[in-house]
Chains A and B, each alone.
Chain A
Amino acid sequence: MILPQASVPVREPESPVAAVPVTDKAHEGVHAWGGLRVRRWRVVIGLLALATCGVAVICLRFGAQPLTLSEFWSALFWMPAAKEDVARVIIWEIRFPRILMGLFVGASLAVTGAALQALVRNPLADPYVLGVSSGAALGATTGLAFGLGSLAGGIGVPLCAFVGGACAMTLVYGIAASQGRLPVQTLLLAGVIVNALCSALMMFANSIVNPASLYRVVLWLMGTLGAPSVPVLIGLGACAVGATLFLLRQSQPLNLIAVGEEAAASLGVETRRVQRTVFFVSAFLTGAVVSVSGMIGFVGMVVPHVVRILFGADHRVLLPASALGGGMLLMAADTIARTVVSPEEIPVGVITALVGGPFFIYLLMTRKYRFIV
């Protein structure tokens, strides 16, 4: 390639880097796609919210106790009708809290998964990668082993789990943080190490407790939504909404960090502060969720990927869409878990993996999603 003449390379007509004259005319037609982004966001999130409500209603319809359609509708809308009391109690006092719980747990897991994947810039990350869940599991195991389940008005086990999770979170942060920074690789390794440590301690605890406690521990670990008490529900709801709103505010910083930490810093992102706060908020929410529902796998890793395939990687869409998608998935999975072999129940984690796995494989194979680690 020979340069035509001068000391600076001369622009060729077909040059990709063409100097466009800086005039006001040059940006006509911009507003079309500019407005479209916000409008698209409203449409996507609006439709997902509607779908979430629809899924919730469908989930209310099914359960161990069969209801006729007319009973269901009259009880759903509090209409005065025959047998209304039974149906109303079933729908609003038994099924509704559990479905709300599914929504909160699923949304929290998916939104933390999405945020953590960006934070550690690794598509394989999920809420459990930070080691918080193992700490919570260890706390719950200890609580169950020492018969603390009935403590503090029946929320002894969640309380123990939460304390365990908080300890694990502090430990991981203490190992990984250096000079206010959270190096990604160290953070992942610290999570793995704390996971291993807690698992070992948990196995030790399991090996010395009596078989009845062990059975409860195993059930707890498999993850189930159970019948939540009102304080638990309110607490979890507050955590989920608050943390999600916080993470939404970090959407654009997370976008930038996902593309490159150094470039993000050069664009004015306070990377240390964002990393620290996203870590603590995600870990806190994970700890809260695991404390009340055990280890429900799969939602936190796969839902963000599905949302990315459908709507792109921009966290302003990804985070709210993941929250709604995760909520929908877990509500539906839990409904399946409590109806398929009713009156017995399958652990909901089994359903999320069985339903979500093949769907994800299908998306991977048809949409040619780039998945490089």
Chain B
Amino acid sequence: MSAGSSERAGAAAVPAYEVRRLSFRYGDRRRPGSGGSPDWVLNGLDFSIRQGEIFGVIGPNGSGKSSLLKALAGLVEPQEGAIRLFGAPFDATPRDTIARQVAYMPQDLSCDFPFSVLDTVLMGRFPYRQRGMWSVLGWERETDRAVVERAMAQAGVTQLATCEVGRLSAGERQRVLLARALAQEPRVLLLDEPTAHLDLQHQLDVGRILKLVHGTLGMTVVLVSHDINLASQYCDRILLMKGGRRLCLGSPTTVIIRSNLQEVYGCEVLIDAHPETGLPRVSLPRQDRVQAGALSQF
């Protein structure tokens, strides 16, 4: 494995992530030798994510895509396999170090306590906190505040700084989470279902977020989504998963094809080209036609 990674490092940059034979299941943390049983959520995944690409993960419910994202964020400990982050083995890397390189943006933020937007964004500086006996409260330094101010400006939440997070709209909360992620100054941004429960206008904001972090800041982005069209429009490469396994990995035009989606989702889909980008676009067929088709097969 190390030989392979050094070869690639010679050619270009090291990949942002290298995932090798990754298997994970909830429950017993270490029970080696029981691979292949049906309750594995991730089952021998193998792939790498290049630096600076937008990498999409799609698949049906229960295909393990959210668990994969958690594994990439270091939130779950896989029982088997290995992850390398910019060439460094994940297990041996302290959590703070991971947090300085990888920002995980959850779907939403729910909190029963009146934290302000500024409080929340300042939390993004936690991996850079001062240590030692006398920094009891862990106040941020001037440099931290500069980073936070910039992150809030980039995410467009400067005006909301003193607002209570719990009272914002879903779209505003997402921008607060983005600001917190940017305050981490990461090299990789992990997005969990970025368009879930957002209206069209805010889905467009997700596009702007991707353009900002990928285009302007040059981050690597990994996004997990139910929204195949979102993945198709923005991702450089897409991983299609089923049952914790990799079914297909490649550019949107090679992954989003009828046979793949029908195999994974088990239903008929229509695929045409997006009117502006020409990238594949997925629609569901009319209900009566599906039934007619299904009946005609008998």
**A residues within 8 Å of B by Cβ?**
1-3, 5-9, 11, 15-20, 22, 26-27, 29-31, 33-34, 37-38, 41, 117-118, 121-123, 179, 245, 248-249, 251-253, 255-256, 258-260, 262-263, 265-270, 308-309, 312-314, 316, 369-373
Interface digits, B81-125 against A, CB 8 Å rule (1 contact, 0 not)? 000000000000001101110111010011111111011100110
B296 interface residue per 8 A CB criterion: no
CA distance A33 to B140 in the complex (A): 12
What are 14 inter-chain pairs, A to B, with CB distance below 8 A?
A7-B279, A9-B204, A15-B208, A16-B175, A27-B149, A27-B150, A30-B146, A33-B145, A121-B112, A256-B123, A256-B126, A259-B123, A309-B114, A314-B115
Q: A26 to chain B: which residues have CB within 8 Å?
A: 149-150, 153
Name the residue on A nearest B144 (C-beta). A34
Of the candidates A8, A41, A270, A369, which one forms a contact with B215 in the assembled complex, judged by CB atoms under 8 Å apart? A8
**B residues within 8 Å of A by Cβ?**
29, 70, 73-75, 95-96, 98-100, 102-104, 106, 109-116, 118-120, 123-124, 126-127, 129, 136-140, 142, 145-146, 148-150, 153-156, 161, 164-167, 175, 178, 184, 200-201, 204-205, 207-212, 215-216, 233-234, 276-277, 279
Q: A265 to chain B: which residues have CB within 8 Å?
A: 74-75, 95
Contact (A314, B119) CB under 8 Å given A121-B112, A259-B111, A267-B124: yes
CA distance A121 to B110 in the complex (A): 10
Do A267 and B184 touch (CB < 8 A)? Answer: yes
Do B167 and A370 touch (CB < 8 A)? Answer: yes
CA distance A314 to B98 in the complex (A): 25
Of the candidates B103, B119, B154, B234, which one forms a contact with A312 in the assembled complex, judged by CB atoms under 8 Å apart? B119
Do B136 and A267 touch (CB < 8 A)? Answer: no
Do A313 and B114 touch (CB < 8 A)? Answer: yes
Do B126 and A269 touch (CB < 8 A)? Answer: yes
Do B138 and A252 touch (CB < 8 A)? Answer: yes
Do A34 and B175 touch (CB < 8 A)? Answer: no
CA distance A314 to B110 in the complex (A): 16
Do B149 and A30 touch (CB < 8 A)? Answer: yes
- Among A26, A27, A37, A117, max chain B CB count under 10 A is at A27
Do A267 and B115 touch (CB < 8 A)? Answer: no
Contact (A268, B95) CB under 8 Å given A18-B154, A316-B139: yes
